[in-house]
Amino acid sequence: MDTVYENLVFDDNGLVGSQCIDCKEYFFPKTKSCSNCSSVDMTNKNFGTKGRLWSWTTQNLAPKAPYFLHDIKEDYQIYGVGFIEMPCGVKVKSRLQVSTVKFEIGQRMELKTSILEKPNGETLPVFEFRIEKE
Amino acid sequence: MERVAIIGIGLHPFGRTPGMSGLDQGVFAARKALDDAGLKWSDIGIAFGGSRSSGHAMAATNQLGLTGLPFINLYTGCATGGSSLFAAANAIKSGAAKYAMAIGFDKHERGAFSPSAKNNDIPSWVSETGLMVTTQFFALKLQRYMHDYNISHDTLVKVAEKAFKNGSLNPNAWRKSIVSYKEIAESKMINDPLRKYMFCSPAEGGAALILTSETEVRKMGVKAVFLEATEMRTKNYGSFEVYDTCLAANIQPTATSNAAKAAFESAGIGPDDIDVLQIQDTEVGAEIMHLAENGFCKHGDQESLIQNGETLISGRIPVNTDGGCIANGEPIGASGLRQVYEICLQLRGQAGSRQVLNSPKVGYTHVYGSPGVSAVNILATS
Ligand SMILES: [Zn+2]
């Protein structure tokens, strides 16, 4: 497992979140406590790599700082944002890869880890979902 | 429990006012509210105020007078004005003071707000990877809603069209020009399905209200607008609110629905009894979805309601008669108080060319702020 930040864990096997041991609710990213029942007994849960598009939008303007690429004005690449409903029911907010196929609620989506890169060589690993290839 | 009354209202016009700070505009509004109530600043026994970008609200006492009163700064995102009023009303109910003021002002830079991940207990990577943009939340919630309840793109445009039309009738509004259907429908896409003219923008302005008890109103022999209910709720588990990084398998009603339900219960009336309303329209989808969340229609009925013109000033349930956030812009500290200011004008019959006909008697206001706060009020003439 690649731990990108303390609470952000993902790799090609899936996104890792938390499950509450007491009420069984799922959370992403990993959390220290349960916002449903206030329990602090949490366990890791791998949500897998596949889900369905629950809602989507596009980010047509470059977000302001601290967005990693906020200072790259020319050649801005529109990206998608969506909630992916994972098999366990939790919906995870994620970047979406834009392609020629229009997003539609209910589409089958798959996880694709990726790297955001600046001209100066700085990089940021990200997780994204894309429409599943037939 | 004794009823709370609003006996003074004041506003500094919203928009852009070069040469005046946000605080100056708040002081302007406070003085207007005092004049309206026939009171002096030294009569105010407690105050609650908020601002996001213009410093501590309490600093207004430097200009209004250092009377030593308890003055509490508060901030609940876009719901700040609603929270100030909620706190001031409860101070009157508790007997903490004879007269209370709720005040708000702001002066924001141009362009969208850039929310802080840290301040919202959100991991920094969420904003670094471009997932913490407030307008994305509006679009994601609306996209799903349109899918579930068959709301058309045409209806989105009509809500914006109404906002600019109503704003053109309001001398205190920022956007006082009508924007055509075509201009709205063809404006730049920001977050699909939301386009440029469907959003409100950060702006400037100030608003203030003066509250007292019903007993005091009778003693003074003045006319007042009564707060039949004032309720505030924060998000509960499972609701879909701004900045959420995941949503529960079973989505639950929002903070807005819970605040609205509590307010109607407390006032002992229902949505059908409301003659004029102000609801948070940070963008057109918010107005559409909040109509149902506040109980004014069933989910999905907005489509026919709006297509039939029922939410126009001349309609059955006039919504955002002053142009709402879309035409007024949003100075965060003042926005929720502007809504109540407008309802007071409507109930007093002082709304000029945008006056709702047949003497409205009961009004309603609703604000929504990050990271999931809602405050609502039910107001009545008697
Ligand atoms: Zn739990």
CATH of the domain at B13: 3.40.47.10
Q: What is the pLDDT of residue B118?
A: 84
Number of domains observed in the structure of chain B? 1
Is B181 contained in some domain? no
The residue-averaged pLDDT of B136-164 equals 98
Confidence band (pLDDT; 50, 70, 90) for A1? very low
Looking at residue B135, its pLDDT comes to: 95
Nearest to A29 among B136, B237, B245 (CB): B245
H or E element, residue A32: none
Domain that holds residue B352: 4-111+200-380
Which residues of chain A lie closer than 8 angstroms to B249, CB-CB? 25-26, 88-91
Partners of residue B245 in chain A, C-beta under 8 Å: 28-29, 92-93
Per-residue pLDDT, averaged over B236-244, amounts to 93
> Counting one residue from A and one from B, how many pairs have CB atoms under 8 Å apart?
120
Residues of B in contact with A93 (CB under 8 A): 126, 131, 140, 244-246
Contact B188 A88 (CB under 8 A): no
Distance between CA atoms of residues B180 and B128, nearest Å: 37
In the structure, what pLDDT confidence band is assigned to residue A4 with cuts at 50, 70 and 90? low
Please report which confidence band the pLDDT of residue A9 belongs to, taking 50, 70 and 90 as the band edges: confident
Q: Is residue B179 part of a domain?
A: no
Q: Which residue from A4, A21, A1 is spatially nearest to A127, judged by alpha carbons?
A: A4
| Chain B residue with Cα closest to A87 | B249
Residue A78 touches partner B, C-beta closer than 8 Å: no
Give per-residue pLDDT as tens, B315-373. Answer: 999 999 999 999 999 999 999 999 999 999 999 999 999 999 999 999 999 999 998 99
B190 close contact with A: CB closer than 8 A: yes
pLDDT of residue B308: 98
State the pLDDT confidence band at A3, using cuts at 50, 70 and 90.
low
Mean pLDDT of B241-254: 95
Lowest mean pLDDT segment, chosen from A125-134, B80-89, B231-240: A125-134
Q: Is A98 on the interface with B (CB under 8 A)?
A: no
Minimal C-alpha gap between B96 and chain A (Å):
34
By Cβ distance, the residue of A7, A8, A81 closest to B136 is A81
Best probe of the B interface among A20, A52, A57, A86, by most B CBs < 10 A, is A57
Q: pLDDT tens digits for B170-213?
A: 999 999 999 999 999 999 999 999 999 999 999 999 999 999 99
Q: What is the reported pLDDT for A2?
A: 54
- The verdict on a CB contact (< 8 Å) between B143 and A57 is yes
Task: Name the residue of chain B whose CA is nearest to A35's CA.
Answer: B237
Neighbours of ion ligand 1 (CB under 5 A): A 20, 22-23, 34, 36-37, 39
For residue range A21-77, list pLDDT tens digits in order.
Answer: 999 999 999 999 999 999 999 999 999 999 999 999 999 999 999 999 998 878 899
Q: Is the pLDDT of residue A13 over 90?
A: no
CB B53 within 8 A of CB B16: no
Whether B193 is covered by a domain: the verdict is: no
- Which pLDDT score, from 0 to 100, does residue A6 have? 66
Q: How remote is the CA of residue A28 from the centroid of ligand 1, in Å? A: 14
Residue B26 placed within a domain: yes
User: Which candidate in A35, A39, A55 is best for mutational testing of the B interface (most B CBs within 10 A)?
Assistant: A55
Average predicted confidence (pLDDT) for chain B = 96
Query: Does the model's pTM come out above 0.90?
Result: yes
